[in-house]
Structure 1
Amino acid sequence: MMASPSTPHGSAPNPSPTPPTPPTPPSLPASPSATAAPSRAAPPRRRHPWLRHLANIYRLGVKELWSLVRDPMMLILIVYTFTASVYSSATAQPDTLHLAPIAIVDEDASPLSQRIVSAFYPPQFTVPQMITADAVDRGMDEGAYTFALNIPPNFQRDVLAGRAAEVQLNVDATRMSQAFSGSGYVQQIVSTEVREFLQRYRSTPELPVDLALRVRFNPTLERAWFGSLMQIINNITMLSIILTGAALIREREHGTIEHLLVMPVTPTEIMLAKVWSMGLVVLIAAAMSLWLIVSGALHVPIGGSVALFLLGATLHLFATASMGIFLATLARSMPQFGMLLILVLLPLQMLSGGNTPRESMPKLVQDVMLVAPTTHFVELGQAILFRGAGIGVVWVQFMALAVIGAVFFTVSLRRFRRTLSSMA
């Protein structure tokens, strides 16, 4: 009987001994091709500075558009200015005398006086009111009629006898649109009736010289054609100054201008953003007004290229929008900006040639207004929209607007930077 090998006391037998670990082979030097390259993150692409500037100008301009959308009063002003204002300016003032109230004092009661009374009829005049001499002053004071014609006693007898006969015409000059043209109508009617009464027949004398009248660009001499287009030109100037100036004052009052100062944007970017955004709004509104109101509602023919006119309007907006920012830097509140706007806007519109031809103004005024953008914009607007002129005719006005716009932008930018530095 074989005995098992003895083990030390208290130790348990190891039924499965662990096999010996094989020796580790010596490490070989790794080849250069097997070495793993360290991972490196690709450097971010840096945009060109002008791309960054364009992006800032675009985003700031979009911010201005959203601020305008949230201002309902400004939106109402824009819509009214290019719709109802244009239509009323074209139709409010009639081309000729229309339904002017007239009263007649007939103290002669002769066939000649009755003939004069019957010569006044609509649509130039209302049906004449027959009154007494005592009611003339009271009726004029109350505004009951614009004209009061007094035919004295023995008027027909004096006319037939060849003696001097006078007819008194009282005019209410507070009604300017009717007073100036209506007084001429009344004098012509009375003179014609007296002359035909003496001749005993109605005839048109043949003159040795015949005047052949030819009217170009507005054959029917309709005031609506001129009034509607000139109102659009004036509204472009007015709204571009108001919108850009109000945008800057609005940021100052709301405190958002301080937020822009701590952002990585420059004053040039802030100013260009306001110019392009507000100018785009005015340009679109003017184009819609030309299409819907002028051509659609008023049926006014446009002689030239609308695209060429809008291109000139773009240059004009560049100058007037810069002017609006300059005025906003001078004003401390919206009421002050409104007062400055009146002082600047009225001379620009009255002396630019839109209401009165520049040739009829003093030479000094003509020379001074050459530095105003409205003078050149009115010239190119009338040439394109009325006379159908092309770029070969209005290129001088285009160059003048570009130069004036650059000067106004430079001056306004310098003032804007100075204002921002004082606020920082």
Structure 2
Amino acid sequence: MLRRLASLLTKEYRQFFRDRPLILIVLYVFTIEIYVAGTGFNIEVRNYPTAVYDRDRTQLSVQLAEKFRAPHFQVTHLITTDAEMEALLNQGLVSLVVLIPEGFARRLAQGREAEVQAVADGTLSNTALLALGYVELISQRFAQELAGPGRRPGVQVVFEPRVFFNPNLRPEWFASLIELFAVITLVSILLPAAAMVREKEYGTLEQLLVTPLRAAEIMLAKVLSMASIVLVSSLLSLFLVIYPVFALPFQAAGLPFFLISTALYVFSATGAGLLIATVCRSLSETILFLLIIIAPILFLSGSWTPLEAMPAGLRLITYLSPLRYYLNLGEGLLVRGAPWHFLLDDFVGLTLLGLALFAFSAWRFRKYLG
């Protein structure tokens, strides 16, 4: 079996590297496309997951904390320690922590400046920047309310922002990674689907079926070859574009787990590509079908619209998108540098969904060849 599989892998690689247009497409989307996307885009802040860390615990501090409410903020945690704050940010459970320091009410009563600190997750830099702007506006309005209508506030609430993971709020970090994940999805589905459809068009699929090769060997050869091409291209994109051009900090500790997650995601996506190939009869049909499904895949991952801003029913559907879990893993490992056990839920979700998708694709592929 191994010898037959090696021969099939050699055939798949030869066919790919003979297809110059396909090689150019892969090179383009993993380099120039990601570079172009590095400019980022604006995202509206709605239901921003927020924690309040009230060290003062006075009536005034509670009044200020109550200002952070819907539609822009959703306070999900009330915390009491620094360790709790860091854990919530590392796990991605909140994107903003509003910290009201001890002595806040006393300083206001004395007519002195009182600071309010906002600790933001800079992974989604554009969204974090907008959220910090809302925090500053709320602080200013709170000071005006204390002074009374039509009067300049005699006391000021000073806004002091701190941003974790992306201190300068560089939007290109987020935009380039989102584009990389989208490209991995697109190419992982396209390559095996195109390879299979090409076999149909050239009539070589019938030749394979009359050989002693089994359906599992044919599928495995296509999946392994195309998945390895995507994995190598992803690494080249990281180390030739994202790290050197956009100066994304290198998180060495998270890279091995990211590669494992990427391999798992790519294998499930390539299986989906073969599933599409069993339905489509030509390459043009395959591309049209892919264009139809790629937009919902990206939308349901939270890469275009924050999950918190989606309707409740739509948020439930996002749990069926493997890209949702892969996106959380990629951002957590490559930007936040979070320990792998903080992201275990996403990894388990990706594994279960990926195995289910791959198993269904394998069953459909064997049935198609049979």
Q: Which bracket does the TM-score occupy, shorter chain normalised?
A: 0.5 to 0.7
In structure 1, what is the Cα distance between the partners aligned to 2:187 and 2:353? 19
Q: Does 1:394 align with 2:343?
A: yes
Per mean C-alpha deviation after superposition, the further-off stretch among 235-244 and 361-370 is 361-370
Q: Does 1:312 align with 2:261?
A: yes
Per mean C-alpha deviation after superposition, the further-off stretch among 283-292 and 368-377 is 368-377
Match for residue 235 of structure 1? 183
1:3-18 alignment, distance < 5 Å: none
SS at match of 2:159: coil
In structure 2, what is the Cα distance between the partners aligned to 1:323 and 1:411? 9
In structure 1, what is the Cα distance between the partners aligned to 2:309 and 2:339? 26
Per mean C-alpha deviation after superposition, the further-off stretch among 247-256 and 393-402 is 393-402
Structure 2 unaligned blocks of 5 or more: 44-129, 131-151
CA contact (8 A) 2:188 2:270 kept: yes
SS at match of 1:91: coil
Distance 1:302 1:350, change over 3 A: farther
Match for residue 323 of structure 1? 272
Match for residue 310 of structure 2? 361
SS at match of 2:164: coil
Match for residue 336 of structure 1? 285
Q: 2:3 aligns with which of 31, 55, 62?
A: 55
Match for residue 299 of structure 1? 247
Match for residue 229 of structure 2? 281
Match for residue 382 of structure 1? 331
In structure 2, what is the Cα distance between the partners aligned to 1:355 and 1:79? 24
CA contact (8 A) 2:301 2:318 kept: yes
Q: Does 1:216 align with 2:182?
A: no
Q: Superposition RMSD on alpha carbons, in Å? A: 2.2
In structure 2, what is the Cα distance between the partners aligned to 1:365 and 1:93? 22
SS at match of 2:162: coil
Residue 92 of structure 1 and its aligned partner are, at CA, apart by 7.0
In structure 2, what is the Cα distance between the partners aligned to 1:357 and 1:261? 46
CA contact (8 A) 2:40 2:175 kept: no
SS at match of 2:160: coil
Residue 94 of structure 1 and its aligned partner are, at CA, apart by 9.7
Residues 149-201 of structure 1: per-residue CA shift (max 9 Å, x gap): xxxxxxxxxxxxxxxxxxxxxxxxxxxxxxxx9xxxxxxxxxxxxxxxxxxxx
Distance 1:285 1:344, change over 3 A: same
In structure 2, what is the Cα distance between the partners aligned to 1:228 and 1:272? 31
Residue 205 of structure 1 and its aligned partner are, at CA, apart by 7.7
Residue 55 of structure 1 and its aligned partner are, at CA, apart by 3.1
CA contact (8 A) 2:300 2:317 kept: no
Match for residue 96 of structure 2? none
Which has the larger share of strand? 2
SS at match of 1:211: strand
SS at match of 2:336: coil
Residues 130-162 of structure 1: per-residue CA shift (max 9 Å, x gap): xxxxxxxxxxxxxxxxxxxxxxxxxxxxxxxxx
Match for residue 78 of structure 2? none
Structure 1 unaligned blocks of 5 or more: 1-51, 96-180, 182-203
Total equivalences in the alignment: 263
Residue 359 of structure 1 and its aligned partner are, at CA, apart by 1.6
CA contact (8 A) 2:193 2:274 kept: yes
- Structure 1 runs of 4+ with >6 Å offset: none
Q: Does 1:409 align with 2:345?
A: no
TM-score (normalised: structure 1)? 0.59
Match for residue 88 of structure 1? 36
Which has the larger share of helix? 2
Residues 63-102 of structure 1: per-residue CA shift (max 9 Å, x gap): 111110000011001110111011110037699xxxxxxx
CA contact (8 A) 1:94 1:223 kept: no
Match for residue 255 of structure 1? 203
Distance 1:392 1:92, change over 3 A: closer
In structure 2, what is the Cα distance between the partners aligned to 1:236 and 1:206? 55
CA contact (8 A) 2:242 2:248 kept: yes
Mark the structure with the bigger radius of gyration.
1
CA contact (8 A) 1:383 1:389 kept: yes
SS at match of 1:246: helix
In structure 2, what is the Cα distance between the partners aligned to 1:338 and 1:68? 17
In structure 2, what is the Cα distance between the partners aligned to 1:390 and 1:337? 39
Q: % of aligned pairs identical?
A: 34
CA contact (8 A) 2:40 2:171 kept: no
Distance 1:210 1:226, change over 3 A: same
Residue 207 of structure 1 and its aligned partner are, at CA, apart by 5.1
Distance 1:94 1:411, change over 3 A: closer
SS at match of 1:215: strand
In structure 2, what is the Cα distance between the partners aligned to 1:88 and 1:206? 48
